[in-house]
Amino acid sequence: MKFSPSGIRRPENLKNDLLSGLTVALALVPEAIAFAFIVGIDPTIGLYAAFMMGLVTAAIGGRPGMISGATGAVAVIFAPLVREQVKKGGMESALDYLFAAVVLMGLIQILFGVLKLGKFIRLVPHPVMLGFVNGLAIVIFRSQFEMFFTGHAETFEEKALVLGVMGILIAMTMAIIQFLPKLTKAVPATLVAIITVSLISFILNKAGISVLSVLDFVQEKDPARTTLAASLPTFSLPRIPVSIEALKKIFPYSMLAASVGLIESLMTLTLVDELTDTRGRGNKECIGQGVANMVNGLFGGMGGCAMIGQSVINIKAGGRSRLSGITAAVALLGFILFGAPLIENIPLAALVGVMFMVVIGTFEWSSFRVMKQIPKSDALVIVLVSVVTVTVDLAIAVAAGIIFSALVFAWEKGKKIDFTETTDENGTKVYKLNGALFFASVHSFKDIFRFAEDPEHIVIDFMHTRVHDHSGVEALNFVTEKYSSLGKKLHILNLSHECRILLKKADGIVEVSEIEGLEWHHLADDSLA
């Protein structure tokens, strides 16, 4: 399916984008509220963040169809800053520091995009991607159990009834999402499930059977809260001291949040690329995320990044273009301004059921099947990244997976350098190498040569070998000096252009020669240019 340059699809596809956007807006509500409570701030700030992140990234980001909003990853990072400032200067001061940190987070992300660092997402190995997806699915699944509470029920029987009804409605929601597409795809199954379960909940509540709603969840966290209705966000510069001390206070939080936000966003972008068989623009997404977070900080939002769960909901519901993300953001704002009574009465069971289906669709079940078919190191990476994502942090998990994969690659490549050795009619010993010369393979490289037994002239042929780093240069220097100390001459053949540049930067540590006929001719220094 082709996209126009603006990211908006043809009119016949507008229905899917509009309906999927509405579905996503409903799913954004409880999570934005929950993440605000993680930070310890008013839930309206979380809803504002979801609206502004969604609108700005949908309009100018690099991945049409991807949904951004307030996220748990960013919330967890900023929570300590807010708690610390609440103790020192109260909630008003804490919010100013939070908003300033979010603005700085946005500036850092824009800088990442301008410097075109988004391309480094290509360095993420596929096993790391699998581990990331599986770990995040588990995190989403685990987060839903916060919704399982019993409201005002007091006796064991009442609590059991509340949870039992919730379980049945969750199962009903999941069944509709699973089986309705087999009957018709005219409307998003997720939206139908939410509406259907909401109507059933209304009937059950009228019959005296308690069904917990979004407002019940909010009041469980903040008993004084009576509505989710709010006004438009307003512009305000964070009121913090303009000083080095204030910058030092917020910079660590901003830098970590910017890094985690970009990693989660770019990984989500890659996943959506795979789901839609299209390609987003990583650097543009970095800039879009940065602008969205700056707007958040200036208009009273808690910041955020891309949301894998809501992005999957959008894609599964048929949303593909920027219009779906814009619709979700505008619909969410409409709920806040005019439709609070509607979203307040949506049963939690419907939204939990939706997220459970997201978990099922997000988790890479095929990873179990391929575990026995892939190298053990790759299988270990999948498990490692999944576990660290669940137990520690997404950014640390991805970094650990990349580092582990790189070390395994270096170990395997550095185990051995293949070579053949021959002696020509002039008595010159020729070593022909095959492999990479870098930090992990230098010991194997040094063990190849028979320094004492070799003749006066020795040749190393680099036709099928490359020197990749300074460790390789130092290894060549070691071999050269070793032969020189024995009164022997080392010559190097067939160096690539890149290797020659590397050697020149090393100030001519190694003498480079080439054969012409049967004689040796030393290359001039400018031959390394």
To which H or E segment does residue 30 belong?
helix 14-39
* One domain, residues 464 and 371: no
Residue 501: is its pLDDT beyond 80? no
Q: What is the pLDDT of residue 10?
A: 56
Nearest CA among 460, 473, 471, 464 for reference residue 500: 473
User: Where is the domain boundary, 361, 394, 427?
Assistant: 394
**CATH code of the domain containing 519:** 3.30.750.24
Q: What is the pLDDT of residue 441?
A: 86
Please indicate whether residue 333 or residue 499 has the higher confidence score (pLDDT): 333
Q: 321 and 17 in contact (C-beta within 8 Å)?
A: yes
Residues near 203 by Cβ (< 8 Å), separated by ≥ 6?
none
Q: 192 and 353 in contact (C-beta within 8 Å)?
A: no
Highest mean pLDDT among 82-96, 360-374, 454-468, 493-507 belongs to 82-96
* One domain, residues 100 and 189: yes
Please indicate whether residue 392 or residue 198 has the higher confidence score (pLDDT): 198
* One domain, residues 359 and 323: yes
413-442 burial string, b = 16+ CB within 10 Å, else e? ebeebebeeeeeeeebbbbbbebbbbebbb
* One domain, residues 361 and 436: no
Q: Which residues pair with 69 in a beta bridge?
A: 305
* One domain, residues 356 and 458: no
Q: What is the pLDDT of residue 5?
A: 43
Residue 511: is its pLDDT beyond 80? no
Residue 527: is its pLDDT beyond 80? no
User: Where is the domain boundary, 350, 378, 394?
Assistant: 394
Q: What is the pLDDT of residue 260?
A: 84
| Segment 357-383 mean pLDDT | 88
CA dist 156 → 113, 162, 526 (Å): 55, 10, 87
Q: What is the pLDDT of residue 246?
A: 94
Alpha-carbon span 336 to 329, nearest angstrom: 11
Q: pLDDT confidence of 199, banded at 50, 70, 90?
A: very high
Residue 18: is its pLDDT beyond 80? yes
Phi, psi for residue 485 in degrees, rounded to 5: -65, -20
Q: pLDDT confidence of 465, banded at 50, 70, 90?
A: confident
| Segment 335-341 mean pLDDT | 91
DSSP single-letter state for residue 126: H
Residue 528: is its pLDDT beyond 50? no
| Segment 462-476 mean pLDDT | 84
Tens digit of pLDDT for each residue in 63-96?
999 999 998 878 888 989 999 999 999 999 999 9
Alpha-carbon span 12 to 9, nearest angstrom: 8
Q: What is the pLDDT of residue 484?
A: 85
| Segment 459-468 mean pLDDT | 86
Please indicate whether residue 35 or residue 504 has the higher confidence score (pLDDT): 35
Q: pLDDT confidence of 470, banded at 50, 70, 90?
A: confident
Share of the chain above pLDDT 90, in %: 45
* One domain, residues 43 and 165: yes
Alpha-carbon span 4 to 1, nearest angstrom: 10
The token pair that represents 414 in the structure block: 């550095």
Tell me whether residue 247 is in a domain: yes
Alpha-carbon span 268 to 286, nearest angstrom: 12
Residues near 366 by Cβ (< 8 Å), separated by ≥ 6?
none
User: Where is the domain boundary, 359, 394, 429?
Assistant: 394
Residue 54: is its pLDDT beyond 90? yes
* One domain, residues 334 and 186: yes
* One domain, residues 374 and 442: no
Average pLDDT of the chain? 86
Tell me whether residue 400 is in a domain: no
Is the dihedral angle over the CA atoms 457, 460, 463, 466 positive or is it negative?
negative
Q: What is the pLDDT of residue 70?
A: 93
Tell me whether residue 354 is in a domain: yes
Alpha carbons within 13 A on the beta-carbon side of 88: 12
Tell me whether residue 3 is in a domain: no
Residues near 334 by Cβ (< 8 Å), separated by ≥ 6?
none
- The identity of residue 66, as a single letter, is M
* One domain, residues 157 and 285: yes
* One domain, residues 440 and 383: no
Q: What is the pLDDT of residue 522?
A: 39
Tell me whether residue 403 is in a domain: no
Report the 10 Å Cβ neighbour count for 521.
11
CA dist 504 → 7, 38, 492, 511, 527 (Å): 48, 55, 14, 10, 9
Residue 494: is its pLDDT beyond 50? yes
Q: Note the helical H segments in 207-243.
A: 214-221
What is the domain range of residue 197?
12-394
Give the gyration radius of the chain's Cα atoms: 30
Domain count, the chain: 2
Residues near 128 by Cβ (< 8 Å), separated by ≥ 6?
381, 385, 398, 401, 402, 405
Highest mean pLDDT among 71-75, 177-181, 415-419 belongs to 177-181
* One domain, residues 375 and 443: no
* One domain, residues 452 and 389: no
Q: pLDDT confidence of 506, banded at 50, 70, 90?
A: low
| Segment 272-293 mean pLDDT | 92
Tens digit of pLDDT for each residue in 152-171?
888 999 999 999 999 999 99
Give the largest Cα separation in the chain, rounded. Answer: 103
pTM above 0.75, yes or no: no
3-state secondary structure (DSSP) of residue 125: coil
Tell me whether residue 4 is in a domain: no
